[in-house]
Amino acid sequence: MINYTSLATTAFQMPKIGLGTFGLAPSEAKATINEALSLGYRLFDCAPVYFNEMEVGDAFHESTSGVPRTDCFITSKLASPFHRPEHVEPALRKTLADLRLGYLDLFLIHWPVAFKYVDFDPSVRGWPNEAIDDSDDGANIDPTVSLRDTWTAMESLVDKGLVKHIGVANFPVVLLHDLLSYSRIPPVVNQVEIHPYNQQSKLLDYCKSRNITVQAYSPLGTPGYKENGEPDVLMDPVLKEISNKHGMTVAQLCLQWSLQRGCHVVAKSSNKIHLEENLLVGYKNGVMSSG
């Protein structure tokens, strides 16, 4: 049922549609992860700054779905306070402990900006507060950390077998171009916000030309961040008209649109009906080709 595609540098495969865990309440993690696994989801997108990795890890460990770890593709990310080379591996090992995993399928640099280091106890799962996601209006940004040094440390994680693949998130063309000029292991994924109101066509074209898989997050828009009076993708009258014409939801239309453009998608939901609707995009309807 799942549509896989090979990543650029190896024969390793990544599902085209995955479950995002941003905004997933810790109390909902167990039921949502178990339901998603049972429905057929195999890609799960995580991050320390979602502040639910411990609960997501427990959900994986306690799942009754019977799906083995080797059938899943699990992604997490390097938070900004841990960009210095000596902090990259400890941060990853913290994530592995929180998720109760021995390795990650994909590890991304979450944002192309370093923060001042935030100390943590590697023996304690979870995070006591949200300090690792606090820029303090830019005061915590550390301009002395080189992206090249961070990437070299990321490459060493692949060498050690702690992660299978590495990539980036929220990287514009100029930073990707620079990264590719010196990387020994090129990034296989750039995860960025893409939806009908934020199409990022030039970035998508560049990534295609450099064999970087684009994974779209917030493919249904960002209603939680819009100001009063700003449009909402899921309420867009044109998208509603198109989706009604083809007998699908606006959410399904948006996901299919991203797939048609060659993107992979991660969408968050804890609602069983929406989980199933999202996963079925591209398989039950034939109005668009996913390419």
- The strand ranges marked E within 135-188 are 166-169
Per the residue annotation, which of 50, 103, 197, 225 is the catalytic one? 50
SS3 266: strand
Half-sphere exposure of 102 (CA within 13 A, CB side): 3
**Helix H segments across 11-142?**
29-39, 53-62, 85-99
| DSSP 8-state symbol, 141 | B
Would you call 186 exposed, middle or buried from its count of C-beta atoms within 10 A (0-12, 13-18, 19+)? Answer: middle
Calculate helix-pair angle for 53-62, 29-39, nearest 10 degrees. Answer: 50
SS3 97: helix
**Residue 134: Cβ within 10 Å count:** 16
SS3 283: coil
Contact 45, 21 (CB under 8 A): yes
**Is 50 designated active site?**
yes
Can you read off the two tokens belonging to residue 241? Answer: 């008209």
Can you read off the two tokens belonging to residue 107? Answer: 């590890």
Q: Which residues are catalytic?
A: 50
